[in-house]
Amino acid sequence: MKWPGMAWIGGAPGAGKSTIARDLARRGDLPLHPIDLWTYAHLDRLPPLRPLAEDLAAGPQYAADAFVDIARLRLDLVAEDVRERDLGDVPALVEGPQLLPSMADSVPAAVWLLPDAEQTRRAREERLARVEDPEGRARLESLLARDAILAERVRREAASYGRVVVEVPAAPDWADVVQRVVDGLGSLPRLQAGDELRRQRQYENLAGCRQGRLWQADRGLAEVPPYPFACECGTSGCAVTWMGTPGEYDVRRGEGWLTAHPAC
């Protein structure tokens, strides 16, 4: 399969991938493509998968190998998703741990963020604190052991393939981390301000709504916590976000666009 244009920020939990990718996409007028927003959509297009709990029960090395196997399957789905966005010469800024350096021949612009173990633990605990998830808390230590194995694999592969890795310490200088990511990705073409940029931001917001609703149904939650939506004003460099739920987003944008600040 011929892959569409992508720039990728990969690596382990707790490294700031999501925040950095979102910031760079907004300031750089890039289409943002966090793979997490397509998790449930991908499940419908993948063969039946073994439950995560069973992989973890078989040991961290087994769980890490299983993650890599699933990641390989998902890469073609990611390519299909990006192609459907019809972005022309503008690459999607993809964010997610599924790409390893050994898989990245078709993705010349890629950086892997690898956090200190303390950072990874903090990130996973913060996620658990947002919702009631006893199963997730019970498997925390197993997930952290798997994460450490995957992070070390990325380090080895990056060294072998000459790819860019940014180590994120327990007390990071985030300005330095961001600059190293920017340097690693290089100069990227932008979306045209106005309708083109506006449409892509709405596409991303609708993907977030779909994922949120499917997650809510899957977990049987009465409600989902608010999360950030991008302003759809179409102004170049607009990084303003609005916090809300999928239902609140539908009401806020109505039949038009979500505008998240008075200047819009």
Instruction: Write the DSSP string, 114-151.
Output: EE-HHHHHHHHHHHHHHS--HHHHHTHHHHHHHHHHHH
* Six token digits for residue 252: 């806020």
Do 70 and 51 meet the contact criterion of CB atoms below 8 Å apart? no
pLDDT in the model for residue 2 = 54
* Six token digits for residue 246: 């999928």
For 138, counting Cβ atoms within 10 Å of its Cβ (0-12 exposed, 13-18 middle, 19+ buried), the class is exposed
- Kindly list the structural domains of the chain, giving each domain's residue range(s) and its CATH number in brackets, ordered by start: 6-185 (3.40.50.300), 195-253 (no CATH)
pLDDT tens, position by position, 172-186: 899 999 999 999 999
Q: How far apart (Å, rounded) are the C-alpha atoms in residues 232 and 161?
A: 39
pTM: 0.90
pLDDT in the model for residue 261 = 76
Q: How far apart (Å, rounded) are the C-alpha atoms in residues 165 and 91?
A: 20
- Give me the chain's average pLDDT, please: 91
What DSSP element (H or E) covers 93?
A: strand 92-95
pLDDT in the model for residue 163 = 97
- Give yes or no for residue 119 having a pLDDT over 80: no
